[in-house]
A and B are shown apart, each in its own frame.
Chain A
Amino acid sequence: MKSKAHRHQASFRDPSGYIVQDGSSFKRVINPIYFPVYDALCKADFFAPLFKAKMLIPHVEQERSDQSIILLPEQIELMTYPYEWSFEQYKQAALLTLKLQNYALDRDFSLKDASAYNVTFHRGKPIFIDTLSFDLYQKDSPWRAYKQFIGHFLAPLVLAHYHGAEALKMMQTHIDGIPAALAASMLPGRSKLSPTLYTNIHLMAKMEAKHKDEYTPKSRSIKLSKKSLRNLLRSLYDYINKLELKEQTEWGDYYNKTNYQPQSFDFKKQQIQKWIRSRAARKIIDLGGNDGTFARAILQDIDLAVVADIDHNAVASNYAQVKANKEVNMLPLWFDVAQPSPALGWANKERDSILSRLQVWGPEAVLALAVIHHITLSGNIPFEDSARFFAGLSSVLVIEFPKRDDSWVASLLERKREFINHFDHYNLQEFEQAYMRYFTIEEKVEIPGSQRVLYLMQTRE
C-alpha cells in the first residue's frame, strides 16, 4: 500500500485485511490469508446481487498483487454507530445481518462475525460494510458469530423492549456486545416463558457460565446441520421482526405537539431555505432537529441532512418518515448535544467520537433551531461555550434564539426556582455578545407571531 495511506484503527481485529485512509477515500486491503475466500466469493458471484439489493456496500477491485488486493468501496458520508440509532434502525440492522447470513448459507458461505459495527446507515438504509466478514461454510458447523449476534443485536433490542430505548446506549459501555449473563439478569422472569428468549439468552448465559473455563478440545466437534442453523436464524428473524418498543408513542403527527403558529412555521422554513441556498450548503447538520421537519422542508437542496436529537421518539419518527418516503439524503441520529458519543475501544481509536466523525465529514452549515434555551437553561452551558462548539463544527450557523418571554423559556426558567436570578444572562444582548466572539452576525430576523429571533452567522476569519 502507498506510504501516504494510513491504517484505520477500527479494522485491526480481523487478520483478513484492514482499512486504510488514502487521501479522502477509505479503501479495504485484503491480506493473502483471505485470498482463497475472496476468490471463492468472486467465483460464486456472491457480491453483485447484494450490491443491487443495497445490502452490502458496493466496491470495485482496484489493485491486485501477491501481497494484497485493494478494494475501493462506495464511500460512506458519515458513519453512525449502534448507540446512535433509534430502536427501529437498530432492528433493521439486526434483520439485515440475519438476511445476509441466510443469503451466505444458500451459497455455502457464512458470516464469521456479526458485529453491529458491521452495519451503518447509507442512503436511507442499513447497509453491511465489512466485505471481509464472509467465510467459507464448513459442513455441519455451528455459527461461530452466534454469540456475537446475541450480544450485539438480540440482547440490546430485547432490553430496549422491556426497559425502553435508553437500554441501547449500553452498547457504549459494552463495545463487544452485552453479555448474555447481564442481559439475563436484567430481563423479567416472564421472559423465560418465551422459547426464543429462554434459549437464546437465559440458557446461553447458563451454558457460558458452565463452560467458561474450557476451551474447545480438538477431538470434540460440535455439529449443527444447515437445516437446524436455518431454523435458528428464522426464529431469531421472526422474533426480532415482531419486536417493538413499549414506549413508542404515535408517530406521524409528532410536530403537532410543538404548537407552532402556521405563519411562524412557514416564515421560519422559507428564511432557512433562503439562507442555506445563499450559502450553497449541501451538507447540513440539524442539532436538536426533532423529527426532521425543518431539514425535510429544504431537503431538495441538500446532499445529506444529518438530523440529531436527544429525544428517541423524535429520531424514531424521523426514521419512519425516511423509510416511508424512501429518502436517501436524510440521516437520523440519536445524539445528546451535551453528551456526544465518545471515542471508544482500543487506545480510544477503535470507534471515533461523533464530533471527530462530524469534523471529517465537514458539514457546510449547522442548524440549531430552538435548541439554545435547552443547552443554556437545561444544560447550564454558557453561551460562549456553545458558540465555540458550533464554530468548531461548521463555518455557517443558523441559530434560533427564543427570548425570555417565549413560553418554553419561561417554563425552563420557572423550574430554576430560587436560582432563577442566576440565569439573568439568558437574554438577546448577552447571547449576541458571546456569539460575536466566534461569529459575525450576517442576518437577523424576528419570527412573526413568536418570541423568537433567527440568525445567520458566519465564523470569524
Chain B
Amino acid sequence: MMGYFSMMFLYFDPGLGAMLVQAIVAAAAGIVLFSKNFMYKVKSFFGLTKSQKDGIDTMDFEQDEKQPNEEQGS
C-alpha cells in the first residue's frame, strides 16, 4: 500500500500552489453557494422564483440514474 502511494506521488505534480489555493477557492465557493441559496429562499418566500428551467443539469448522480433509457437504435 505504501508503495502504491509513493508511486502516486511521482505520477504527476499536483502543484503546491494549486493544492494550497483550493482552501480559498472552496471558501469563496461556499459563500457564493450559501448566498445563492439564501437569495433563493428569500425569493421563494415572496413567491418570486421562476419555475425550474428546462432540463437544468445537476451534478448529483441519482438524478441521472432515474432517466429512462430512451435512445434510438442505430
User: A residues near B, CB below 8 A?
Assistant: 13-15, 33-34, 36-37, 49, 52-53, 55, 95, 98-99, 102-103, 106, 112-113, 123-124, 135, 142-148, 150, 180, 195-196, 198-200, 203-204, 207-212, 214-216, 222-224, 228-229, 231-238, 241, 302-304, 325-329
Contact (Cβ within 8 A) A37 B4: yes
> Is B48's beta carbon under 8 Å from chain A?
no
Q: A142-B19, A144-B14 in contact; A232/B26 too (CB < 8 A)?
A: yes
> Is B3's beta carbon under 8 Å from chain A?
yes
Q: A53-B64, A224-B23 in contact; A199/B28 too (CB < 8 A)?
A: yes
Contact (Cβ within 8 A) B17 A211: yes
Q: Which residue of B lies closest to A210 (CB)?
A: B17
Q: Provide the bound-state CA to CA distance between A112 and B65, in Å.
A: 24
Task: Please indicate which of the listed interface residues A52, A99, A207, A327 has the most CB atoms of chain B within 10 Å of its own CB.
Answer: A207
Contact bitstring B31-62, A, C-beta under 8 A = 1, else 0: 11100000000000000000000001101110
Q: Which residue of B lies closest to A241 (CB)?
A: B57
Q: Is the interface of B mostly helix, strand, loop or mixed?
A: helix
Contact (Cβ within 8 A) B59 A216: no
Q: Which residues of B contact A49 (CB under 8 A)?
A: 61, 65
In the complex, how many angstroms separate the beta carbon of B37 from the nearest chain A beta carbon? 11
Contact (Cβ within 8 A) B32 A135: no
Contact (Cβ within 8 A) B11 A326: no
26 contacts between A and B (CB under 8 A): A49-B65, A98-B59, A103-B61, A106-B61, A112-B11, A113-B11, A142-B14, A142-B23, A146-B14, A147-B18, A148-B14, A180-B18, A207-B21, A208-B17, A212-B17, A215-B16, A216-B16, A223-B23, A228-B26, A229-B22, A232-B26, A234-B33, A234-B59, A303-B74, A326-B72, A327-B72
Given A103-B61, A146-B14, A195-B32, 10 more contacts at CB 8 Å?
A13-B12, A14-B11, A53-B61, A135-B8, A211-B15, A222-B23, A224-B26, A228-B26, A235-B25, A235-B29
Contact (Cβ within 8 A) A33 B7: yes
Contact (Cβ within 8 A) B72 A112: no
Q: Provide the bound-state CA to CA distance between A143 and B26, in Å.
A: 11
Q: A199-B25, A204-B18 in contact; A237/B4 too (CB < 8 A)?
A: no
Q: Provide the bound-state CA to CA distance between A166 and B21, in Å.
A: 29
Q: Provide the bound-state CA to CA distance between A52 and B62, in Å.
A: 12
Q: Provide the bound-state CA to CA distance between A241 and B10, in Å.
A: 33
The 9 A-B pairs at the shortest CB distance, nearest first, are namely A235-B29, A147-B18, A207-B17, A208-B17, A228-B26, A329-B74, A144-B14, A211-B17, A232-B26
Q: Which residues of B contact A146 (CB under 8 A)?
A: 14, 18-19, 22
Contact (Cβ within 8 A) A147 B15: yes
Instruction: For B24, give its contact among A203, A238, A325 (CB under 8 Å).
Output: A203
Q: Which residue of A lies closest to B72 (CB)?
A: A326
Q: Provide the bound-state CA to CA distance between A52 and B61, in Å.
A: 12
In the complex, how many angstroms separate the beta carbon of A461 from the nearest chain B beta carbon? 32
In the complex, how many angstroms separate the beta carbon of A392 from the nearest chain B beta carbon? 27
In the complex, how many angstroms separate the beta carbon of B34 from the nearest chain A beta carbon? 9
Q: Provide the bound-state CA to CA distance between A112 and B73, in Å.
A: 35
Contact (Cβ within 8 A) B33 A203: no
Contact (Cβ within 8 A) A231 B8: no
Q: Which residues of B contact A98 (CB under 8 A)?
A: 59
Q: Which residues of A contact B8 (CB under 8 A)?
A: 112, 135
In the complex, how many angstroms separate the beta carbon of B2 from the nearest chain A beta carbon? 11
Q: Which residue of A lies closest to B29 (CB)?
A: A235
Instruction: For B17, give its contact among A95, A209, A302 (CB under 8 Å).
Output: A209
Instruction: For A203, give its contact among B1, B25, B29, B71 (CB under 8 Å).
Output: B25
Q: Which residues of A contact B70 (CB under 8 A)?
A: 326
